[in-house]
Amino acid sequence: MLKLPIYLDNNATTPVDPRVLQAMLPYFTDIFGNAASRNHPFGWKAEEGVDYAREQVANLIGASEKEIIFTSGATESNNLAIKGVYEMYAEKGNHIITLTTEHKAVLDTCKHLEKLGAEVTYLEVQSDGLLNLADLEAAIKPNTILVSVMFANNEIGVIQPIKEIAAIAHKHGALFHTDATQAVGKVNTDVNEYGIDLLSLTAHKMYGPKGIGALYVRRKNPRVKVTAQIDGGGHERGMRSGTLNVPGIVGFGKACELARLEMGQDAARLSIMRDRLENSLLELEESYLNGNKDHRLPHCTNISFKYVEGEGLMMGVKDIAVSSGSACTSASLEPSYVLKSLGLDDDLAHSSLRFGLSRFTTDEEIDFAINQTKEAVMKLREMSPLWEMFKEGIDLKAIAWAEH
């Protein structure tokens, strides 16, 4: 039985897996100690839970548990990585390289550092969302200390050539950080295989609870250090003070363990479903896939529908929770900066939908999404004078619209 509305916005957040919830529950009531209380069994039990979770998180990304610093989520991890490296390596240089398509947690952190004297280069991506490696090579200077490039994009799912990017950074003596929020638990993100020095991840994108994340900080070859951004009792090897969120950490650990064991089968199932959804929607005339088709996450797709008005489209698919290409803030309807970076015009950027599938998504839900989306697009086009003109073969670009 189909339960409406259906949820296809799993890039934004995922539901907590019932097995994760079961692992967490005892830590709210029975094992409620503070993991930093070293004088009694309540604290020891809590600490055991944290230690085990730290191993589970480390195992998912091929790290050692000593390299995992718990944070409140990927936004904090990105802040700690970028600001922490900027302060720690200030004597070496002040130049940071990132992409225009990064998450705001990276872009706004870089903007903040620019006010403090950092020099930041924001590289453009190609029309398929991938970074041109020659552009990266050309941007590096003697004072470059950090290259920060996301593993997989949150809007279009495109996976960057991480191994090659890391190698270029290292060749020039810079560190490499990746915001792997969308990728961890969905695809292989082994830190040694890819040559990653710092990696941000969070639990709520992989069926864990919200409000808990981690930063991987490499301990050898090279040994990376970051300056703490939150001061206090020196928790997390002095890099991140604050009482640990024990239930959240335990849930995060369990989510990582499940991802490590089930990621392959999830990806195989979801990519088939995603392709079915995508191919059906691309049967509509003037519909376009955003981002590279071959290098991307298995569970998401981003499609633009020409001659459709963005807000109308979101209202038309009201029984499907998806995200739109227009990040609607109350005052402005700005089209997505990620889609603009790919070279899409405002109209196409506005009329895009991002579908994110999960391990709980069913074939029935995909059928419903296909039908409702197609219906909404066709209905909106019937109401559009531009669509009528397009169908009559009028070149809309050649029209000089009257000023009024």
Catalytic residues: 328
Q: C-alpha dihedral over 120, 121, 127, 133, to 10 degrees? A: -120
Q: Which two tokens stand for residue 280?
A: 């059906």
d(CA 96, CA 208): 32
Q: What is the largest CA-CA distance in the chain?
A: 80
Quick one: which of 68, 16, 356, 80 has its CA closest to 211? Answer: 16
In terms of Cα–Cα distance, which of 252, 244, 245 is closest to 202? 252
Q: Are 95 and 121 in contact (CB under 8 A)?
A: yes
- What is the chain's percent helix, strand, coil content, to nearest 5? 40, 15, 40
Candidates 33, 296, 280, 56; CA nearest to 160 is 296
E strand or H helix at 352: strand 352-356
Q: Are 82 and 109 in contact (CB under 8 A)?
A: yes
Buried b vs exposed e over 266-300: b needs ≥16 C-beta within 10 Å? bbebbeebbeebbebbeebeebebbbbeeebbbbb
Q: Which amino acid is at 33?
A: G
Q: 15: which DSSP letter?
A: P
CA distances from 210 to 17, 248, 255 (A): 12, 8, 12
What SS3 string covers 282-348? Answer: CCCCCEEECCCCCCECCCEEEEEECCCCHHHHHHHCCCEECEECEEECCCCEEECHHHHHCCCCHHH
Of 148, 91, 155, which Cα lies nearest the Cα of 335? Answer: 155
Alpha helices in 124-234 (DSSP H): 133-139, 162-171, 191-194
User: In the numeric block, which tokens belong to residue 312?
Assistant: 């109308």
Q: Write down the residue that tokens 């705001």 correspond to.
A: 104
Positive or negative, the CA dihedral 33, 34, 35, 41 is negative
